Amino acid sequence: MVEVDDVLKLARRIPKGRISTYSMLAKALGGKNLARFVGTALSKNPRPVKIPCHRVVHSDGRVGGYKLGVSEKIRLLKREGVAVKSGKIAGFKKHLFKNFKPQ
């Protein structure tokens, strides 16, 4: 069974200046059908900046929600060098982090 901590551990692996998607985390946890669970788990993040859930976005590049507010998510992403235009990640594929293979 997948736990909230499993999602948070994956989010920690996303490097500064990179992003990943809810569905990519879900797939790394064992199934694309877990994407909604990933979002719910990230909303329970007890340390939203230290555990960088702001680096997780929708598959189409939309920023998505954030526990501290969408404007704060965008501010954090921009601070890390990830541009956001009209609520979407600019250069989405360039910033995408996919390497969730077991360490």
Q: Which of 53, 74, 77, 89 is catalytic?
A: 53
Half-sphere exposure (CA, 13 Å, Cβ side) for 55? 27
Rounded Cα distance between 61 and 59, Å, is: 5
53 labelled catalytic = yes
Token pair 């598959």 is found at 59
How far apart are the C-alpha atoms of 34 and 31, rounded to whole Å? 6
Residue 19 DSSP symbol: B
Which residues belong to the active site? 53
